[in-house]
Structure 1
Amino acid sequence: MSSLELRLPDIVVVTGTASGLGLEVARRLLQCNCKVVGVDMAPSALESDPSYRQVTGSIADTSTWNKVGDLLDAETSATLGLVTCAAILDVGTVPEATPQLIERTMAVNVTGTALGMAMIVPRMEAKGGGAIVAVASVNATLAEQQLAIYNASKAAVRQLARTAALDHARRGIRINVLSPGPMMAGLFKRHVESATDSSRFLATRANRQPQGRILEASEVAQAALFLLSDGASALLGADVIADGGLTAGFDFRTGAEGASV
């Protein structure tokens, strides 16, 4: 079978490695012989791997990123990457969102992403470049009911990354956005569980997908690795939609509505 070989950074910082997309990205990187620094409030199942180092703490706290920076500084010859997977999602309308909930969502989803970039960009510049993948969402562009605060935070991540891509392009840093759709990971699973009828909710959402299923987090992780790799050298400030075709059209006709498909 033919294959394509792509070069990845020597060491990659991944946030949200305790579960979901962050866990899958880190796992796949380790399988590709990259070193990984994981950042999360909770332990990761990967901590037994000798190529994995865990920094436990909030990504919205500069002290957490100082610890990450210390680990990277010990890897003096390594090329660097960053994937910002950590995020929180609360289901509810705007009148239901307390100031505390809004601040917490923005702190993790937006401030955490910005602080990660602020820590790693100077180190990348000193090494002549690097690759950053900021994980946003299709919800950064398209609205979804009961997720106003989350959607707003992901729209902020998208523009944060695209602007930073322009700011640092001449220093060899390549920043892109990865926007997943629904995937069988923590945030979407919690949304499913919050539904009155979880089984019906999941079946309805899966039926909207052109492929008839919700993507696995491991599939989206592959897209993140591509953006990290030298195979994506032509992409800068791009927003790669990894949603299984959900947003390719305004609606997907299954045939149940009587349309000809």
Structure 2
Amino acid sequence: MTRPTEGNVPAVPAHPVARDFEGLGALVTGGASGIGAAVAALLLARGARVAVLDRSTAGAPAGTLALAADVTDDEAVRRAVDAAAAEFGALHTVVSNAGTGAVGTVLDNADDEWRRVLDVNVMGMVRTARHAVPHLRRAAAGAPGCVSITQTCSIAATAGLPERALYSASKGAVLSLTLAMAADHVREGIRVNCVNPGTADTPWVGRLLDQAPDPEAERAALNARQPTGRLVTADEVAAAVVHLASPAASAVTGTALAVDGGMQGLRLRPAT
């Protein structure tokens, strides 16, 4: 049996969903839309109890614990993280996904915009980890190999993309932060990894396309930039995130997993 094809995304065989997160508590920031919502839904399907932290929780998957908070507000993040840990009895998995975008060269964004994007994309992850790590330490003592932080980075951290200076700088910081956190917490039983999606078909990208003079031409250009010839789906990124967070990846830490349709590593000759 196969799942139906959506657009030009190939259908894949349907298999029974593993329940490898049974009994584990998870928190997903930015979990009410796009990649975060796909991650939260997959964690639920695999047995986790899931809390979603987002500014608006209207799109949080059914069955999650919805916690309204902004990652730029340290006290709100602390309350939300503590609430998730209290509700579940322990916190084993954190997916730090909340983020925002920016377009332009280094000439185009004012200082206030730099502060705003870095506050969300970098400091938002710092605040989440700051309040989650004490809970994760306690969980690691009783669940070795099951405790992790997985952060949403980007291909922009490792490849030079036009008109993404601010966004790339923020995601470069996320990549370095991931490696430093992995070194700091490996002996505490906390694994820290990140995923580097290519251009993903998310609401933010949809809004970006809508602002283009020719949205169809812009979508075609983004499709062509990835060797697979299409945008990455939120479900594909979620599958990578959940793999890194799962007990099956208990030997994986300090790793950046590209989910980019081959954009980072492949150099294809022009199509003829």
2:150/2:192 contact within 8 Å kept: yes
Identity over the aligned pairs, expressed in percent? 30
1:55/1:64 contact within 8 Å kept: no
Q: Find the counterpart in structure 2 of residue 71 from structure 1.
A: 83
Matched, 1:119 2:131: yes
Distance in 2 (alpha carbons) for counterparts of 1:20 and 1:4: 21
Q: Find the counterpart in structure 2 of residue 259 from structure 1.
A: none
1:17/1:44 contact within 8 Å kept: no
1:105/1:153 contact within 8 Å kept: yes
Given the two structures, how large is their TM-score scaled by the length of structure 1?
Answer: 0.90
Q: Find the counterpart in structure 2 of residue 45 from structure 1.
A: 59
Count of residues in Structure 1 that have an aligned counterpart in Structure 2: 253
Distance in 2 (alpha carbons) for counterparts of 1:209 and 1:98: 30
- Residue aligned with 1:178, SS: strand
Q: Find the counterpart in structure 1 of residue 7 from structure 2.
A: none
| Mapping for residues 18-97 of structure 1, pairs under 5 Å | 18-46=32-60, 49=62, 51-75=63-87, 77-97=89-109
- Residue aligned with 2:236, SS: helix
- Residue aligned with 1:175, SS: strand
Distance in 2 (alpha carbons) for counterparts of 1:194 and 1:145: 17
1:162 pairs with one of 179, 204, 208: 179
| Ranges of 4+ aligned residues in structure 1 off by more than 4 Å | 1-6
Deviation of 1:25 (Å): 0.7
| Structure 1: runs of 5+ lacking an equivalent | 257-261
Q: Find the counterpart in structure 2 of residue 255 from structure 1.
A: 271
Q: Find the counterpart in structure 1 of residue 223 from structure 2.
A: 206
Deviation of 1:76 (Å): 6.2
1:193 pairs with one of 210, 217, 234: 210
For residues 195-222 of structure 1, the C-alpha deviation after alignment (integer angstroms, 9 at most, x for no partner) is: 3222112112212322221121111111
Distance in 1 (alpha carbons) for counterparts of 2:155 and 2:29: 19
Deviation of 1:109 (Å): 0.2
Deviation of 1:43 (Å): 2.4
Higher relative contact order (CA 8 A, sep 6+): 1
| Structure 2: runs of 5+ lacking an equivalent | 1-13, 142-146
1:91/1:191 contact within 8 Å kept: no
Deviation of 1:84 (Å): 1.2
